[in-house]
Chain A
Amino acid sequence: AQSVTQPDIHITVSEGASLELRCNYSYGATPYLFWYVQSPGQGLQLLLKYFSGDTLVQGIKGFEAEFKRSQSSFNLRKPSVHWSDAAEYFCAVGVQGAQKLVFGQGTRLTINP
Protein backbone atom coordinates (compact mmCIF):
# COMPACT_ATOMS: atom_id res chain seq x y z
CA ALA A 1 0.00 0.00 0.00
CA GLN A 2 1.11 3.53 -0.62
CA SER A 3 2.37 5.46 2.36
CA VAL A 4 4.21 8.63 3.24
CA THR A 5 6.38 9.03 6.32
CA GLN A 6 7.51 12.30 7.80
CA PRO A 7 9.90 11.20 10.55
CA ASP A 8 9.92 14.53 12.40
CA ILE A 9 6.70 15.46 14.16
CA HIS A 10 8.02 18.79 15.39
CA ILE A 11 11.07 20.84 14.40
CA THR A 12 12.28 24.10 15.89
CA VAL A 13 14.74 26.33 14.08
CA SER A 14 15.97 29.85 14.61
CA GLU A 15 14.93 32.60 12.27
CA GLY A 16 17.47 32.90 9.48
CA ALA A 17 18.67 29.32 9.86
CA SER A 18 18.40 26.72 7.12
CA LEU A 19 15.65 24.14 7.14
CA GLU A 20 15.22 20.60 5.89
CA LEU A 21 12.01 18.64 6.40
CA ARG A 22 12.18 14.94 5.62
CA CYS A 23 9.71 12.90 3.63
CA ASN A 24 9.93 9.25 2.63
CA TYR A 25 7.36 7.48 0.49
CA SER A 26 6.45 3.93 -0.31
CA TYR A 27 4.98 3.57 -3.77
CA GLY A 28 5.47 1.01 -6.52
CA ALA A 29 5.26 3.24 -9.55
CA THR A 30 6.75 6.61 -10.45
CA PRO A 31 5.44 8.90 -7.74
CA TYR A 32 3.75 12.23 -8.07
CA LEU A 33 4.98 14.13 -5.02
CA PHE A 34 3.70 17.24 -3.32
CA TRP A 35 4.50 19.49 -0.38
CA TYR A 36 1.66 21.45 1.19
CA VAL A 37 1.76 24.00 4.02
CA GLN A 38 -1.01 24.61 6.53
CA SER A 39 -0.89 27.84 8.51
CA PRO A 40 -2.87 27.93 11.78
CA GLY A 41 -6.60 27.92 11.13
CA GLN A 42 -6.11 27.76 7.38
CA GLY A 43 -6.47 25.23 4.62
CA LEU A 44 -3.57 23.63 2.80
CA GLN A 45 -1.58 25.53 0.21
CA LEU A 46 0.64 23.87 -2.37
CA LEU A 47 4.34 24.73 -1.99
CA LEU A 48 5.70 22.63 -4.83
CA LYS A 49 5.28 19.40 -6.75
CA TYR A 50 7.35 16.83 -8.63
CA PHE A 51 6.06 14.79 -11.52
CA SER A 52 9.10 14.10 -13.68
CA GLY A 53 12.26 15.68 -15.08
CA ASP A 54 14.65 17.74 -13.00
CA THR A 55 14.77 16.18 -9.55
CA LEU A 56 15.28 19.56 -7.84
CA VAL A 57 12.06 21.52 -7.92
CA GLN A 58 11.48 25.09 -6.88
CA GLY A 59 8.35 26.24 -5.15
CA ILE A 60 6.78 29.31 -3.66
CA LYS A 61 8.10 31.25 -0.67
CA GLY A 62 11.69 30.27 -1.39
CA PHE A 63 11.20 26.53 -0.81
CA GLU A 64 12.74 23.76 -2.86
CA ALA A 65 12.63 19.97 -2.71
CA GLU A 66 14.77 17.21 -4.13
CA PHE A 67 13.46 13.89 -5.36
CA LYS A 68 15.83 11.00 -4.72
CA ARG A 69 14.48 7.77 -6.17
CA SER A 70 17.22 5.63 -4.62
CA GLN A 71 16.26 6.83 -1.16
CA SER A 72 12.50 7.11 -1.80
CA SER A 73 12.73 10.61 -0.43
CA PHE A 74 11.41 14.06 -1.27
CA ASN A 75 12.90 16.40 1.32
CA LEU A 76 11.87 20.03 1.57
CA ARG A 77 14.50 22.72 2.09
CA LYS A 78 14.78 26.43 2.63
CA PRO A 79 18.09 28.27 2.99
CA SER A 80 16.86 30.86 5.49
CA VAL A 81 13.57 30.63 7.35
CA HIS A 82 11.36 33.54 8.30
CA TRP A 83 9.04 33.75 11.31
CA SER A 84 6.10 33.55 8.89
CA ASP A 85 7.19 30.04 7.88
CA ALA A 86 5.91 28.65 11.19
CA ALA A 87 3.22 26.20 10.13
CA GLU A 88 2.41 22.54 9.59
CA TYR A 89 4.02 20.95 6.53
CA PHE A 90 2.60 17.94 4.74
CA CYS A 91 4.23 15.71 2.18
CA ALA A 92 1.87 13.77 -0.10
CA VAL A 93 2.00 11.25 -2.91
CA GLY A 94 -0.52 11.17 -5.74
CA VAL A 95 -1.73 7.61 -6.24
CA GLN A 96 -2.29 6.74 -9.88
CA GLY A 97 -5.34 4.68 -10.56
CA ALA A 98 -6.85 5.51 -7.17
CA GLN A 99 -6.75 9.21 -8.09
CA LYS A 100 -6.16 10.48 -4.60
CA LEU A 101 -3.51 12.06 -2.41
CA VAL A 102 -2.00 10.11 0.46
CA PHE A 103 -0.55 12.42 3.09
CA GLY A 104 2.19 12.04 5.65
CA GLN A 105 1.42 12.84 9.25
CA GLY A 106 2.85 16.32 8.99
CA THR A 107 5.76 18.19 10.56
CA ARG A 108 5.10 21.17 12.76
CA LEU A 109 7.67 23.90 12.28
CA THR A 110 8.34 26.40 15.06
CA ILE A 111 10.58 29.40 14.49
CA ASN A 112 12.59 30.88 17.34
CA PRO A 113 13.20 34.62 17.10
Chain B
Amino acid sequence: DTAVSQTPKYLVTQMGNDKSIKCEQNLGHDTMYWYKQDSKKFLKIMFSYNNKELIINETVPNRFSPKSPDKAHLNLHINSLELGDSAVYFCASSPTPTANTEAFFGQGTRLTVV
Protein backbone atom coordinates (compact mmCIF):
# COMPACT_ATOMS: atom_id res chain seq x y z
CA ASP B 1 0.00 0.00 0.00
CA THR B 2 1.31 3.43 -0.95
CA ALA B 3 1.55 5.63 2.13
CA VAL B 4 1.00 8.99 0.38
CA SER B 5 -0.55 8.78 -3.06
CA GLN B 6 -1.24 11.55 -5.53
CA THR B 7 -3.21 11.56 -8.73
CA PRO B 8 -2.58 12.19 -11.49
CA LYS B 9 1.15 11.63 -11.84
CA TYR B 10 1.30 13.73 -15.00
CA LEU B 11 -0.96 16.56 -16.05
CA VAL B 12 -0.67 18.53 -19.28
CA THR B 13 -3.14 21.33 -19.80
CA GLN B 14 -3.63 24.62 -21.58
CA MET B 15 -3.32 28.07 -20.09
CA GLY B 16 -6.51 29.32 -18.54
CA ASN B 17 -7.85 25.89 -17.62
CA ASP B 18 -8.79 24.76 -14.12
CA LYS B 19 -7.33 21.53 -12.76
CA SER B 20 -7.20 19.54 -9.54
CA ILE B 21 -4.63 17.26 -7.96
CA LYS B 22 -5.74 14.75 -5.35
CA CYS B 23 -3.77 13.42 -2.41
CA GLU B 24 -4.52 10.69 0.09
CA GLN B 25 -2.50 9.32 2.99
CA ASN B 26 -3.13 6.06 4.80
CA LEU B 27 -0.66 6.66 7.63
CA GLY B 28 -3.17 8.08 10.08
CA HIS B 29 -1.29 11.37 10.17
CA ASP B 30 -2.90 14.58 11.35
CA THR B 31 -0.97 16.95 9.09
CA MET B 32 -0.76 17.24 5.32
CA TYR B 33 1.18 19.59 3.04
CA TRP B 34 1.55 20.75 -0.51
CA TYR B 35 5.03 21.58 -1.77
CA LYS B 36 6.01 22.99 -5.15
CA GLN B 37 9.26 21.99 -6.86
CA ASP B 38 10.30 24.32 -9.65
CA SER B 39 12.41 23.59 -12.72
CA LYS B 40 15.59 24.13 -10.69
CA LYS B 41 14.46 21.48 -8.19
CA PHE B 42 13.86 24.09 -5.49
CA LEU B 43 11.21 22.86 -3.04
CA LYS B 44 8.95 25.30 -1.26
CA ILE B 45 5.97 24.76 0.98
CA MET B 46 2.64 26.09 -0.25
CA PHE B 47 0.07 24.94 2.29
CA SER B 48 -0.24 22.93 5.45
CA TYR B 49 -3.37 21.47 7.04
CA ASN B 50 -3.75 19.97 10.47
CA ASN B 51 -6.91 17.98 11.13
CA LYS B 52 -8.59 19.63 8.14
CA GLU B 53 -7.69 23.14 9.31
CA LEU B 54 -5.37 25.41 7.31
CA ILE B 55 -2.27 26.30 9.33
CA ILE B 56 0.20 27.46 6.69
CA ASN B 57 -0.48 29.52 3.57
CA GLU B 58 2.79 30.68 2.08
CA THR B 59 1.84 33.70 -0.05
CA VAL B 60 0.46 31.50 -2.76
CA PRO B 61 -1.76 33.16 -5.43
CA ASN B 62 -5.42 32.76 -4.60
CA ARG B 63 -5.85 30.83 -7.84
CA PHE B 64 -4.58 27.93 -5.74
CA SER B 65 -7.19 26.57 -3.34
CA PRO B 66 -6.50 23.58 -1.15
CA LYS B 67 -9.34 21.56 0.29
CA SER B 68 -9.22 18.94 3.01
CA PRO B 69 -12.48 16.97 3.24
CA ASP B 70 -11.00 14.84 6.01
CA LYS B 71 -7.59 14.48 7.57
CA ALA B 72 -6.58 11.71 5.17
CA HIS B 73 -7.15 13.82 2.06
CA LEU B 74 -5.76 17.11 0.83
CA ASN B 75 -6.64 18.21 -2.69
CA LEU B 76 -5.24 21.14 -4.63
CA HIS B 77 -7.39 23.03 -7.10
CA ILE B 78 -5.80 25.52 -9.46
CA ASN B 79 -7.84 28.06 -11.41
CA SER B 80 -6.83 29.91 -14.55
CA LEU B 81 -3.58 28.05 -15.00
CA GLU B 82 -0.53 30.04 -16.10
CA LEU B 83 2.72 28.97 -17.75
CA GLY B 84 4.56 29.70 -14.51
CA ASP B 85 2.50 27.10 -12.68
CA SER B 86 4.40 24.38 -14.49
CA ALA B 87 6.21 22.44 -11.79
CA VAL B 88 6.16 19.23 -9.80
CA TYR B 89 3.70 19.36 -6.92
CA PHE B 90 4.33 17.13 -3.94
CA CYS B 91 1.88 16.15 -1.29
CA ALA B 92 3.27 15.13 2.09
CA SER B 93 2.03 14.15 5.51
CA SER B 94 3.42 14.01 9.04
CA PRO B 95 2.10 12.74 12.37
CA THR B 96 2.00 16.23 13.87
CA PRO B 97 2.53 19.78 12.61
CA THR B 98 5.79 20.26 14.43
CA ALA B 99 9.19 21.13 13.06
CA ASN B 100 10.83 17.98 14.44
CA THR B 101 8.60 15.56 12.61
CA GLU B 102 9.47 13.55 9.53
CA ALA B 103 7.39 14.31 6.47
CA PHE B 104 6.37 11.49 4.15
CA PHE B 105 6.12 12.50 0.51
CA GLY B 106 4.04 11.32 -2.39
CA GLN B 107 5.57 10.64 -5.80
CA GLY B 108 4.65 14.04 -7.14
CA THR B 109 2.45 15.38 -9.91
CA ARG B 110 4.26 16.90 -12.87
CA LEU B 111 2.08 19.74 -14.13
CA THR B 112 2.86 21.18 -17.56
CA VAL B 113 0.94 24.22 -18.72
CA VAL B 114 1.13 24.88 -22.46
A residues neighboring B (CB under 8 Å): 32, 34, 36, 41-46, 49, 51, 88, 90, 94-103, 105-106, 108
Kindly list chain B residues whose C-beta atoms are within 8 Å of the C-beta of A98: 56, 99
Q: Which bracket fits the contact residues of B?
A: 20 to 34
Q: What mask results when residues 68 to 105 of chain B are scored 1 for a CB within 8 Å of chain A, else 0?
A: 00000000000000000000001010000111111111
Are A94 and B90 in contact (CB-based, < 8 A)? Answer: no
B residues neighboring A (CB under 8 Å): 4, 33, 40-45, 48, 55-56, 58, 90, 92, 97-108
Kindly list chain B residues whose C-beta atoms are within 8 Å of the C-beta of A101: 45, 99, 103
Kindly list chain A residues whose C-beta atoms are within 8 Å of the C-beta of B45: 100-102
> What are 26 A-B pairs at a CB distance below 8 A?
A32-B99, A32-B100, A34-B102, A41-B108, A42-B108, A43-B90, A43-B92, A43-B107, A43-B108, A44-B105, A45-B105, A90-B43, A94-B100, A95-B99, A97-B99, A98-B56, A99-B55, A99-B98, A100-B45, A100-B56, A100-B99, A101-B99, A103-B42, A106-B41, A106-B42, A108-B41
